[in-house]
Chain A
Amino acid sequence: MSLLFHNRSFLPGIILTTVFAAAALISLAWVPYDTTILNIAEKLKTPSLAHPLGTDQFGRDILSMIMVGARTSIAVALVAVGIGMIAGVPLGLAAAARKGGLLDEVIMRMNDLVFAFPSLLIAVMITAVFGASALNAIIAIGIFNIPVFARLTRGAALTLWSREYILAARVAGKGQARISIEHILPNVANLLIVQGTIQFSLGILAEAGLSYVGLGAQPPTASWGRMLADSQTMISFAPHLALFPGLAILLTVLGLNLLGDGLRDLLDPKLRRART
């Protein structure tokens, strides 16, 4: 346990992540001000006791907006990572189990193809087809997570397939699917968790980018990217409008990356062995 707190990345990472996750959760039940109600008379107030982070161009409370925005960002990124894992991990496991086979080749070529597409453009195209919404942002980000997880899983699984304990399992008569689930999956889980946090943070950045160009969650749902987009023309006279959502993105992504680094260190048996 004390290891957790001695890790230089883990602690700040978990703190930042928890803060924003908590903000998102609390916003489900309570926010200081309703963000769907506009109060033009109160617009562009600088931070004060009543509004700790000030108000935006429509007089909405920025703290409340950031809390709701955290929910949007986290939900979108989390589901997108989920899609990537749910589709990518089995593909990677299957490809590794049939290394060199047709299945492997097809899966890997498909992955290459997805990788070859400029992601933001595809997101723009997807939203051009289906309209801009949080759901479509999820799909657009999720699609690009699939090959990431497929590749990672395949790579890690391949090294595991040459381990003797896999051979032992085969000697025990287990099939490829069973071995993949019983032996490979648990042993790539750490890697997946670490990559998951990294993809999560990339997802948050991607969501911010998409809603910045207007393709993410639609109003009145607050989202950090749109807050930035809406406030950027006011940056010269109301910098707090752009400052706080920008910081929120920065800190969340930073927190997740630190958490990922910390987890990598903590979960890496090589390092753990070295420490104990």
Chain B
Amino acid sequence: MTLLKIDRLSLTIHGTPILKDVSLNVDPGRILGVIGESGSGKSITAFSVLQLLPNGTECTGSIRLSGTDILTCSEPKLCGIRGRDVGMVFQEPMTALNPLQTIGAQVAETILVHENVSKAEATKRAAEALQRAELPQEKFPLSRYPHELSGGQRQRVVIAMAIALKPKLLIADEPTTALDVTTQAQILDLLKRLVAEDNMGLMLISHDLAVVADLADDLVIMQQGDVVESGPAQALFGAMQHPYSRALLEASSHVPDRVGEKHETSLLQVRNVVRDYQQHVHGWWGATTHFRAVNNVSFEIQRGESLGLVGESGCGKSTLTRAILGLEEVQGGEILFDGQPVYTHHHANKDVRRRMQVVFQDPYGSFNPRWRVEKLVSEPFHLLQTPLRGQEREDAVVEALESVGLGAKDRHKYIHEFSGGQRQRIAIARALIIKPDLIILDEAVSALDVSVRAQVLDLLADLGDRFNLTYLFISHDLSVVRSITDRVLVMKSGEIVEDGPTDAVFDHPSHDYTKQLVAAAPVLPVGAV
């Protein structure tokens, strides 16, 4: 019998239609992958199973859990179902736990809410659940607080909480999006194991095709509140029908065309760079501690080359970027751009600074919301000794916008009038406007949906060829790095552990860490489309 059966579910929030005739099934012991771009209604579908919906929501259709109609259940009955019959794991492990309670108490609470057992008994079972979620008591006692755990560990606590009562159905809403690839792989393995052990049904939501492809038995592909395609995973990957699904798949494995002619002259030299952070623990007269974020890093970038930099979160990638840009002074080593130091006399060297630009990760946070595009894009002119004025300036802005595929009239708009992908184009236009030699892209596509990401990558490849740009491309996503770089550096805890041509490094990793990374990276099944 089907465990969860959603039939023609339609949903509106304050009258706005969000879901349209969504139907899907989850069977015990099987994993249903739900895929779709941001805003396609994946989370809302998940929440509607638990009926934890925003105010003003109206549902029609039916949701049946082991035959019970969820939509007609009373609130107390729903409370009985939540946590006991259906467990849920959320995307953001950093905020999903109450910071003021121990993990033990939070896991035990699931048990206490549903079963009339003593506290001691509940605690004992909480310890077991954590054990199953691979948080052994010896290392992670129940008395830990969430802030004493890493993101992956917190996600395990959330999982332990969700499986403590061995629910029939587990819903995981993008459980690994916020995590590193290696951690992601571990968590996904854990989920798979638990499903198999308890014969649970798992609804796994993700925007990443590759993640789901590895794991799911069945697939549902959603677009703007609609299920556009569904069926067993194997079959589906082989023969996608709906154009949207095909586009999604294509974009996920997109490799931009690049000519990539590289000169044999060195543009940027980084030699033995050390960056220490001094941390004032408690205000100005508090104790200071030192933290070495970048440790003795050396490498070179050739003119016209596209160099990748990969590594886990916190390994020092952004710190290195800031050092190269001359925004912060380094504590050791030197950085030369075209033979000149980027940092002299405690100040950035403006002569070389104007030959480098950067594109940041967050398309929403990297623009002043109160400025018009024109002013935003022309900000780097500040670096020039004689900034362009008047018509010349306007022409330059228009040219930059047009080169990233936007129109001249877009320059009068504000940033909130653009989508994420368009914003990232504007960021690139801003980087291009003073015609730099080197552009640093710090996770420049990580926040974008796959299809948009593919477009931006194409654009970057195209611009690189047209203007003979040199890229330093930073990302944690190996497949992206692989598709756009010639050479790659692998960074771990502030040090470069491996470098070499991209394909060589990824196909035949030599350092243990690189091997781990490559193994953990989810891949689409070969032969898909």
Binding site for B on A (CB under 8 A): 100-102, 104-105, 163-165, 167-174, 183, 186-187, 269, 273
Contact between B280 and A167 (Cβ–Cβ < 8 Å)? no
C-alpha spacing A267/B283, complex, angstroms: 32
B109 at the binding interface (Cβ < 8 Å): no
Contact between B370 and A173 (Cβ–Cβ < 8 Å)? no
Give the contacting residue for B284; candidates A105, A171, A172, A186; CB below 8 A: A105
Contact between A164 and B366 (Cβ–Cβ < 8 Å)? yes
Interfacial chain A residues near B350, Cβ < 8 Å: 173
C-alpha spacing A168/B366, complex, angstroms: 7
Contact between A171 and B358 (Cβ–Cβ < 8 Å)? yes
Q: Answer whether A186 and B285 are a contact pair too, CB < 8 Å, given A164-B362, A171-B325, A172-B379.
A: no
B9 at the binding interface (Cβ < 8 Å): no
Residue among A101, A168, A186 facing the most chain B CB atoms (10 A cut-off): A168
Q: Answer whether A165 and B365 are a contact pair too, CB < 8 Å, given A170-B327, A173-B353, A273-B416.
A: yes
Closest 5 CB pairs of A and B: A105-B284, A164-B366, A164-B360, A173-B383, A172-B380
C-alpha spacing A237/B141, complex, angstroms: 73
| Number of residues on chain B facing chain A (CB within 8 A) | 31
C-alpha spacing A171/B348, complex, angstroms: 10
- Show 21 A/B contacts (Cβ-Cβ < 8 Å), sorted by A: A105-B283, A164-B362, A164-B366, A165-B365, A167-B327, A167-B358, A168-B360, A168-B427, A168-B430, A169-B368, A171-B353, A171-B356, A172-B381, A172-B383, A173-B350, A173-B382, A173-B383, A186-B368, A187-B368, A187-B369, A269-B369
B367 at the binding interface (Cβ < 8 Å): yes
Besides the contacts A105-B284, A167-B360, A173-B353, what 13 more A-B pairs have beta carbons closer than 8 Å? A165-B366, A165-B367, A167-B358, A168-B366, A168-B379, A169-B379, A171-B327, A172-B379, A172-B381, A173-B354, A173-B380, A183-B368, A186-B368
Give the contacting residue for B368; candidates A101, A165, A171; CB below 8 A: A165
Give the contacting residue for A172; candidates B362, B370, B382; CB below 8 A: B382
B106 at the binding interface (Cβ < 8 Å): no
C-alpha spacing A92/B147, complex, angstroms: 30
C-alpha spacing A165/B361, complex, angstroms: 11
C-alpha spacing A104/B285, complex, angstroms: 12
Determine how close the nearest CB of chain B comes to the CB of A156; give it in whole angstroms. Answer: 14
B357 at the binding interface (Cβ < 8 Å): yes
Interfacial chain A residues near B370, Cβ < 8 Å: 186-187
Q: Beta-carbon contacts of B365-391 to A below 8 Å, as 1s and 0s?
A: 111111000000001111100000000
Interfacial chain B residues near A169, Cβ < 8 Å: 368, 379
Determine how close the nearest CB of chain B comes to the CB of A159; give it in whole angstroms. Answer: 11
Interfacial chain A residues near B366, Cβ < 8 Å: 163-165, 167-168
C-alpha spacing A173/B358, complex, angstroms: 12
C-alpha spacing A174/B280, complex, angstroms: 26
Interfacial chain B residues near A167, Cβ < 8 Å: 322, 327, 358, 360, 366
Interfacial chain B residues near A186, Cβ < 8 Å: 368, 370
C-alpha spacing A170/B325, complex, angstroms: 9
C-alpha spacing A121/B348, complex, angstroms: 50
B288 to chain A: closest residue by CB:
A100
Interfacial chain B residues near A273, Cβ < 8 Å: 416
Interfacial chain B residues near A165, Cβ < 8 Å: 365-368
Give the contacting residue for A171; candidates B283, B357, B416; CB below 8 A: B357
Determine how close the nearest CB of chain B comes to the CB of A130; give it in whole angstroms. Answer: 35
C-alpha spacing A41/B369, complex, angstroms: 64
C-alpha spacing A102/B285, complex, angstroms: 9
C-alpha spacing A169/B367, complex, angstroms: 9
Contact between A100 and B365 (Cβ–Cβ < 8 Å)? no
Contact between A101 and B284 (Cβ–Cβ < 8 Å)? yes
Q: Answer whether A173 and B348 are a contact pair too, CB < 8 Å, given A168-B360, A187-B369.
A: yes
A106 to chain B: closest residue by CB:
B284
Interfacial chain B residues near A173, Cβ < 8 Å: 348, 350, 353-354, 380, 382-383
Give the contacting residue for A102; candidates B284, B325, B383, B416; CB below 8 A: B284
Residue among B280, B284, B322, B366 facing the most chain A CB atoms (10 A cut-off): B284
Interfacial chain B residues near A171, Cβ < 8 Å: 325, 327, 353, 356-358, 380
Determine how close the nearest CB of chain B comes to the CB of A267; give it in whole angstroms. Answer: 11
Interfacial chain B residues near A105, Cβ < 8 Å: 283-285
C-alpha spacing A220/B325, complex, angstroms: 65
Interfacial chain A residues near B430, Cβ < 8 Å: 168
Interfacial chain B residues near A104, Cβ < 8 Å: 284
Determine how close the nearest CB of chain B comes to the CB of A97; give it in whole angstroms. Answer: 14
Interfacial chain A residues near B356, Cβ < 8 Å: 171
Determine how close the nearest CB of chain A comes to the CB of B387; give it in whole angstroms. Answer: 11
C-alpha spacing A165/B415, complex, angstroms: 12
C-alpha spacing A1/B400, complex, angstroms: 35
B348 to chain A: closest residue by CB:
A173
Interfacial chain B residues near A174, Cβ < 8 Å: 379, 382
C-alpha spacing A163/B363, complex, angstroms: 11
C-alpha spacing A173/B325, complex, angstroms: 10
C-alpha spacing A68/B206, complex, angstroms: 66
B369 to chain A: closest residue by CB:
A269
C-alpha spacing A91/B215, complex, angstroms: 55
Contact between A163 and B348 (Cβ–Cβ < 8 Å)? no
C-alpha spacing A170/B381, complex, angstroms: 12
Q: Beta-carbon contacts of B432-448 to A below 8 Å, as 1s and 0s?
A: 00000000000000000
A108 to chain B: closest residue by CB:
B283
Residue among A102, A172, A183 facing the most chain B CB atoms (10 A cut-off): A172
Interfacial chain A residues near B285, Cβ < 8 Å: 105
Determine how close the nearest CB of chain B comes to the CB of A101; give it in whole angstroms. Answer: 7
C-alpha spacing A171/B342, complex, angstroms: 12
Determine how close the nearest CB of chain B comes to the CB of A271; give it in whole angstroms. Answer: 13
Give the contacting residue for B358; candidates A168, A183, A269; CB below 8 A: A168
C-alpha spacing A235/B383, complex, angstroms: 70
Determine how close the nearest CB of chain B comes to the CB of A165; give it in whole angstroms. Answer: 5
C-alpha spacing A187/B370, complex, angstroms: 7
| Residues in B305-345 with C-beta less than 8 Å from chain A | 322, 325, 327
